[in-house]
Homo-oligomer: A and B are copies of this chain.
Amino acid sequence: SARVPRRTRALERTCAMSTGRRVCKVPKGTRDFLPEQMAIRQRVFALVTSVFERHGAVTIETPVFELKETLLGQYGEESKLIYDIADQGGELLSLRYDLTVPFARFLATHGIVSLKRYQLGRVYRRDQPAIARGRFREFYQCDFDIAGQHPPMVPDAEVLRVLIEVLDEFAALSPYHRQRLGSYQVKLSHRGLLDAILQLCGVPKELLRPICSSIDKLDKEPWDVVRKEMIDVKGLTAPCADRIGQFVTRAGKPRELLRELQADHSLCCGKFGAEEALADLERLFSYLEAMGNVLERCTLNLALARGLDYYTGLIFEAVLTDGSTPLGSIGAGGRYDRLVEDFAGKPVPCVGTSIGIERIFSLMEEAERELAQATGRVIRASKTQVLVVGIGKVDLVQRLKLCDELWRAHLAAECLYAERPKMARQLQYALERGIPVLAILGEDELAAGVVGLKRLSTQEQIQMQRGPPLVQAIRDWLASESNQ
């Protein structure tokens, strides 16, 4: 039919002609996750989720694709990286690019005006993959957002506290984790303050966004290079750029820099809203101090401008460091008060953070492997608690019956599928997978209605009556294993 694109027809012909095997690779920029990696990923997700839930957040789910119209014009230049679904008749669809725009669409669709929600989900960007640097075309985002009309800066403070709490929880897992995730800094800035500064320096309104994106390069380029771009490319005068330079190269302890800015009469002249933005920051700092003084982890940094157009107030970025050198972003976010209004009639102010979950995952993977090596334990992919082992003439059916007893007691049990596997093979199976308990069945045990239990970590061995005593003995061992 006319609907089938030329390339598809060619592919169909190739497949039909080919007598050999199909290729078996994943699409460029995507990954399979193996069982051991999944075990680590699930721990990462569980930890992040537990912090989000500790703050009362609920979760939602939105489709993996949205109407193309929903995403159009939200991402500026990055829009070219959006994956479209083929036009096979019906609606025009695109894979989601982040979780923020779908969240705003969700609030509008359901007329929700107040919500503290988290969401873990995969997003899609048709970018040039850089596997070594962790840039993929399909990756997870992990967002925590607070929507609703609230007293100024209170939800902003809780969002920052959540980001910091997540990072600190990972660092607390072991020295191996602390080494990789313990050293970070949260840079704070404010779109309102930046806009006021730029206008006071004489930047015309239509150049506010372009100049912001120049400023945003200050984490990679020195001021001289950025200044040159402002003058040569964006068309500012040199004195104007120099005035900007006096502000945006400033970064320091939040309270200190705030005091300096408040004392600066050129800023606080009643124009462009600098006072309001500074008052916002002052409120934010008080709340951050109240919430366990997480302000200590922050710096105020006027070089932070953030790329996305939709931010309207506080903006922030958490950067891993090795003490001094920055090692890249591990979380970011800000306030976006007009995005929901773009979909619905009602204005629903929002603030949120996205956790750099893929980055955390790869650092976790390194730390977990080192930790496993240091403790001589395996990284477990399965949760099996008991391996039912047969010796002598005990056959598969007898072992399956014992498995059944354990499953009914909600214990995780397995046995090898072979009719009468060798003891060495069964033991090796348990050791490779880190299964903590062996339940051993020989002919004598069968005749006496008992089971031999062996705990691999301590080499203890006992014999228990089948039924409740057996189950209880296993539960006791497992409880003391997990306390170790």
Contact = CB atoms under 8 A, between A and B. Distances in A.
Q: Chain copies in the assembly? A: 2
Contact of A69 (B23, B38, B345, B397): B23
Contacts of A159: none
Contacts of A27: 63, 65-67, 91, 93
5 contacts: A8-B84, A35-B115, A64-B138, A65-B138, A85-B86
Contacts of A271: none
A163 to B, nearest CB: 13
Interface in A265-323: 286-287, 290-292
Interface of A: 5, 7-8, 11-12, 15-16, 21-28, 30-35, 38-39, 41-42, 50, 53-70, 72-73, 83-88, 90-93, 95, 105-106, 108-110, 115, 117, 122, 126, 138, 150-151, 154-155, 157, 161, 165, 286-287, 290-292, 342-345, 381-384, 396-397, 400-401, 403-404, 407-408, 410-414, 417-419
A73 B69 CA distance: 33
B400 A291 contact: yes
A32 B8 contact: no
> Is chain A's interface secondary structure helix, strand, loop, or mixed overall?
mixed
Given A151-B417, A151-B419, A412 B69 contact: no
Nearest to A59: B38
Contacts of A73: 15-16
A42 to B, nearest CB: 8
Contacts of A105: 22, 24
A331 to B, nearest CB: 18
B12 A72 contact: yes
Given A7-B87, A24-B105, A69-B15, A32 B110 contact: yes
